[in-house]
């Protein structure tokens, strides 16, 4: 029997057949942000994502803002950290993802109160000093430098003195696949940056996330890199996740000026059943990194 995650992901992909489908867009147009993709990605990376939450200095009884909560992937883990005396406020720009998050918490309570608000991380609809902490995961990649600077200022504004701001983001510089020509990814990334792709820039920016928190006026800032590896033979879940992300990259490659031999490789990734698809290689390897940067709002 298929899991709800697998079924939802297949439904999301079945609704879209052209190359834009592989971008897994949410209702707001952001790539890799529809509920089905976020669910499948979280399940594949659940252990490392929960380890990142565990490494974040949160305390029982705290009120946390989950800024950019998506379909609520991190809500249960965050609720486990603050306990029954704590509270969560979940905010997202996408009404569809936010509705899914609220439905899930209603169906399966997480042990502490959770409220839901539609809004933007660059203009938070909360008073100053409302929260003990802001948690923001996989959101900064969608923001330009100016927007990210504004978001960090908003995070600092709504966190009480002595509270913390925690940013979790994919580290684009850590992404590596084998066995392929490493230049394939380098050339694709360079083209994305040259075309002003905000997401391509955002995941590269993550490597120095702590500097952004320092510039925002946070203190006692630290950063840690978490690495995740996949080795063949892949589980069904790993193969699905890796294949879908390669399909997303293949769709992006269609929009870039890359050598024709590169284009042939990327086109093979559009169909995971293609013998030339990388996920079918008996020596498949994938490494990805996630940055956690934490800073304290000054007293």
In the prediction, which pLDDT does 19 show? 42
In the prediction, which pLDDT does 106 show? 97
In the prediction, which pLDDT does 32 show? 62
In the prediction, which pLDDT does 151 show? 98
Interacting residues of 6 by C-beta distance below 8 A, sequence separation 6+: 40, 240
Mode of pairing for the β-strands spanning 63-67 and 87-92: parallel
d(CA 120, CA 123): 5
Interacting residues of 291 by C-beta distance below 8 A, sequence separation 6+: 167, 168, 169, 170, 171, 206, 207, 209, 223, 224, 225, 226
Higher pLDDT, 61 or 185: 61
Query: Which two structure tokens, joined as six digits, stand for 259?
Result: 């050598």
CATH of the domain at 65: 3.40.50.150
Total of domains in the chain:
1
CA atoms within 13 A on the CB side of 32: 21
Mean pLDDT lowest for which of 66-75, 117-126, 176-185, 201-210?
176-185
d(CA 62, CA 290): 25
pTM for this one?
0.88
Average pLDDT in the 190-205 region? 80
The residue range of the domain holding 233 is: 4-296
Place of tokens 């029982």: 60
In degrees, rounded to 5, the angle at the alpha carbon of residue 88 between the alpha carbons of residues 87 and 94 is 160
Residue 17 has pLDDT above 90, yes or no: no
d(CA 70, CA 79): 16
Give, to the nearest 10 degrees, the angle between helix 260-268 and helix 236-253.
150
Mean pLDDT lowest for which of 8-17, 95-104, 141-150, 265-274?
8-17
């Amino acid at each position: 029997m298929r899991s709800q995650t697998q079924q939802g992901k297949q439904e999301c992909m079945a609704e879209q057949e052209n190359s834009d489908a592989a971008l897994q867009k949410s209702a707001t147009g952001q790539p890799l942000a529809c509920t089905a993709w976020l669910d499948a990605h979280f399940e594949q990376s659940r252990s490392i994502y929960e380890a990142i939450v565990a490494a974040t200095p949160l305390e029982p009884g705290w009120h946390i803002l989950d800024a950019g909560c998506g379909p609520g992937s991190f809500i249960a883990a965050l609720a486990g950290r603050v306990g029954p005396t704590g509270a969560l406020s979940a905010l997202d720009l996408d009404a569809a993802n936010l509705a899914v998050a609220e439905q899930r918490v209603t169906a399966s309570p997480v042990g502490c109160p959770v409220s839901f608000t539609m809004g933007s991380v660059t203009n938070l609809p909360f008073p100053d000093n409302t929260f003990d902490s802001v948690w923001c995961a996989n959101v900064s990649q969608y923001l330009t430098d100016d927007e990210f600077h504004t978001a960090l200022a908003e995070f600092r504004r709504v966190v009480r003195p002595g509270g913390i701001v925690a940013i979790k983001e994919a580290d684009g510089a850590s992404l590596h696949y084998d066995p392929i020509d490493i230049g394939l990814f380098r050339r694709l990334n360079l083209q994305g940056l040259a075309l002003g792709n905000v997401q391509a820039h955002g995941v590269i920016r993550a490597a120095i996330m702590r500097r952004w928190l320092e510039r925002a006026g946070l203190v006692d800032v630290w950063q840690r890199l978490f690495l995740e590896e996949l080795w063949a033979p892949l589980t069904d879940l790993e193969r699905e996740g890796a294949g879908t992300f390669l399909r997303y990259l293949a769709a992006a490659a269609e929009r870039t000026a890359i050598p024709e031999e590169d284009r042939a490789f990327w086109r093979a990734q559009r169909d995971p059943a293609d013998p030339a698809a990388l996920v079918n290689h008996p020596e498949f390897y994938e490494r990805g990194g996630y940055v956690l940067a934490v800073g304290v709002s000054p007293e």
